[in-house]
Chain A
Amino acid sequence: MYKAMIRIMPKKGILDPQGVAVGKALAALGYSSVNEVWVGKYMELLVAGDEPAQVELQVREMCSRLLSNPVIEDFSFELVEIGGRP
């Protein structure tokens, strides 16, 4: 069993309206040191499997088919083996 920790972020150069709004809120609170903010998504999946390479392939496919939209988002993930049976 593996835990996939997936991070999805707006592609570089694409306007991220949420990030801009959060950045403005931080500025309003006086955090003038913040130059830019991007807001993305974080997901965790528990995936059955013994072969890490196989699991990685599957998770990559899930990310590009459904979990992210490659037109506007980039994804990255880490896999951690979870001991024992679920």
Chain B
Amino acid sequence: MKFGVVVFPGSNCDADCYHVIQRVLAEPVEYIWHQQDSLSGCDCIILPGGFSYGDYLRTGAIARFSPVMEAVAAHARQGGLVIGICNGFQILLEAGLLPGAMLRNRDLKFHCQASWLRVERTDTPFTNRYQQGQIVNIPIAHGDGNYYADAETLAELEANRQVVFRYATAAGAVDATANPNGSVANIAGIVNRAGNVLGMMPHPERCAEAILGSEDGRLLFTSLLRWGKGGMSDGR
């Protein structure tokens, strides 16, 4: 599976994503500059974390109009895989590739910390290596991660099982004490209705190797490889 990591001015997790794909997964990967209008035949596009365009106006609001985003939207419409991590998630929301919007964290603080997530779905290209309900340790680092969707949109997300990760306690309780930023329904990650576009605030690329304290993020990437080999359809 060929990966493309999009680089916006102000991206700062692009090298981490590239490293995980190249060194941990040993898969082909290349950087895609935001001014490019093609995706160089990549199967999976990663919009990395950072502060694209300095977070001016709103997080992701300006990056969303970069030339590359038209190609990303076309790729998504054709069923291609797209992952937005942190700022990448914010860009996907601004682009309308995922529903909802990000508000400032409820307590106005930038949270850079370990966070526990409950895996809500394992029948996606991104999560098929996890166990249903598994509690994973994937860190967050954001100031605008307070996911908001109006009641109607939230009901649709739940009805279509689009919530993939929720903030939880280490013991697995999804409650207010586990919610670092005020997100509705403790939402940490969602997919689009078709299931090929994932947005998540936590950083799986920061915990894909034992030396970093957690390897829970690696399963997200290895899930993609299994999916690419058709591993989900032939009885996993």
* Contact surface of A with B, Cβ cutoff 8 Å: 14-15, 17-18, 21, 66-67, 69, 71-72
Complex contacts, A71 vs chain B, CB 8 Å: 93, 100-101, 148-150
| A67 in contact with B57 given A14-B148, A15-B182, A17-B146 (CB within 8 Å) | yes
| A15 in contact with B103 given A66-B61, A69-B94 (CB within 8 Å) | yes
Of B57, B93, B103, B105, the contact of A14 (CB 8 Å cutoff): B103
CB nearest neighbor in A for B64: A66
* Contact surface of B with A, Cβ cutoff 8 Å: 57-58, 61-62, 65, 93-94, 100-101, 103-108, 146, 148-150, 182
How many angstroms from the CA of A21 to the CA of B103 in the assembled complex?
A: 14
B38 to chain A, nearest CB (A): 24
How many angstroms from the CA of A21 to the CA of B105 in the assembled complex?
A: 12
How many angstroms from the CA of A67 to the CA of B182 in the assembled complex?
A: 24
CB pairs A–B below 8 angstroms (21 shown)? A14-B103, A14-B148, A15-B103, A17-B106, A17-B146, A17-B182, A21-B108, A66-B62, A66-B65, A69-B58, A69-B61, A69-B94, A69-B101, A71-B93, A71-B100, A71-B101, A71-B148, A71-B150, A72-B101, A72-B103, A72-B148
Q: Which 10 A-B pairs have the closest CB atoms?
A: A71-B101, A72-B101, A17-B104, A17-B108, A21-B108, A69-B101, A17-B106, A69-B58, A72-B148, A18-B104
How many angstroms from the CA of A72 to the CA of B182 in the assembled complex?
A: 15
Complex contacts, A67 vs chain B, CB 8 Å: 57
Complex contacts, B100 vs chain A, CB 8 Å: 71
Complex contacts, A14 vs chain B, CB 8 Å: 103, 148
Complex contacts, B108 vs chain A, CB 8 Å: 17-18, 21
Q: With A21-B108, A71-B93, A72-B103 given, can you name 4 additional A-B contacts, CB distance below 8 Å?
A: A14-B148, A15-B103, A17-B104, A71-B148
Complex contacts, B182 vs chain A, CB 8 Å: 15, 17
CB nearest neighbor in B for A68: B58
How many angstroms from the CA of A18 to the CA of B104 in the assembled complex?
A: 8
Complex contacts, B93 vs chain A, CB 8 Å: 71
How many angstroms from the CA of A62 to the CA of B103 in the assembled complex?
A: 21
Complex contacts, A15 vs chain B, CB 8 Å: 103, 106, 146, 182
How many angstroms from the CA of A18 to the CA of B146 in the assembled complex?
A: 13
CB nearest neighbor in A for B94: A69
Of B58, B62, B105, B149, the contact of A17 (CB 8 Å cutoff): B105
CB nearest neighbor in A for B181: A17
How many angstroms from the CA of A47 to the CA of B94 in the assembled complex?
A: 25
How many angstroms from the CA of A21 to the CA of B94 in the assembled complex?
A: 25
How many angstroms from the CA of A55 to the CA of B35 in the assembled complex?
A: 29
How many angstroms from the CA of A6 to the CA of B89 in the assembled complex?
A: 27
Complex contacts, B105 vs chain A, CB 8 Å: 17
B55 to chain A, nearest CB (A): 13
B236 to chain A, nearest CB (A): 36
